[in-house]
Amino acid sequence: MALRYRLSQAQWTLRGAWFRIWEVENYFTSLEQRAKVGAQITFGYVLIALAAAVLATAGLLLDSTAVVIGAMCVAPFLGPSRAVCIGALFRDWRTFWGGLTKQLLGLFVVGAGVGYLLTGLLAARVSDIGITSEILLRAMPTGREQVLVFIIAVAAGAAASLALSADPSVAERPWGQIVDTVIGVQIAISLMPPAAVVGIGMALGYPGISRHALLLLLVNVLGLDLVGSTLVLALRGVRLSYLQLEKAVRNAAESVLTMAPGLRLPGRKIDVTLLSPDAASVRIRVRSEPSKAVEPMLAERIAAHIEHETGCRSEVTVDLIPCQVYSTL
């Protein structure tokens, strides 16, 4: 059984629809949740970063492009990079600093640390451990390399943001995780190898190489997190005000449901789709008790309350799922 209150097409307009993101269910709250998850430092993150650092260090010392590319495929830096840019846009500074701390932990403590320790151990026990062409590529000796690597970092950051905004629903599809993996590799190109070179240069007694690699790394972090990722999402219309509106619409609908008779509120689901800055589509799935009557104008009352509380006109659909509960507790 479904109760509906429809919003006619004439009641809303898509302002700035060409470059802003509308008509994607729970989009802004999903971004917020992704950012919070990406800012969490987990044991798995440290282990994967450790494996990537070992691969990167070994590949650089072996002068093997294939092994270095393998390290990029493993490195888990997409999550913290997203946490930094989305945290900044939503002014969630706890998420912002959490993502940045997680990113720097993986790069400087794990990446550079493993590069230093592994190179020092190998240099003491294995002959012919020295500077290779792969290492020199990350030493950034000229201004030309500085400009080019910054462009690469910005492009990688833009690609990460476009994966969330060019086709916003792609990550919810079964193959969407593949897109995330590919973008993660692009981000790792700019981060893990130079982090390992910082440690390698220190272990082999080449502080100049470490300084150049550190500069390269800092430039890449800036290009990825701020110029590439954050700027693209800002241009695409990711705003704190839209996140707040999405939450306010959901809270207004929930407040009406709480007072409505005949409903079992545990397990309810409220999905909000912003159609414009002042229009939304709300889909509610809630269980009802067969023995109790549900208000026939519930959807219309929810829509009216949403407009009163937020100023946002809405199309509301309430799907009632009849249920019976039997318990011996």
What pLDDT, on a 0 to 100 scale, did the predictor assign at position 322? 76
Residue 141 clears pLDDT 70, i.e. is over it? no
Q: Which domains does the chain have, with CATH numbers?
A: 2-14+241-322 (3.30.300.30), 27-236 (1.20.1080)
Residue 169 clears pLDDT 70, i.e. is over it? no
Residue 15 clears pLDDT 70, i.e. is over it? no
Region 82-102: what's the mean pLDDT? 93
203-216 pLDDT, tens digit per residue, is 999 999 999 889 88
Which pLDDT band holds residue 69 (cuts at 50, 70, 90)?
Answer: confident
Region 100-115: what's the mean pLDDT? 93
Highest mean pLDDT: which of 47-51, 68-72, 140-144?
47-51
Tokens at 259, concatenated? 């007072």
One DSSP character per residue, 10-47 reads: GG---TTTTTS--S-TTHHHHHHHHHHHHT---HHHHH
Query: Looking at residue 91, what DSSP letter applies?
Result: T
128: helix, strand or coil = coil
Which pLDDT band holds residue 172 (cuts at 50, 70, 90)?
Answer: low
> Is the whole-model pTM more than 0.95?
no
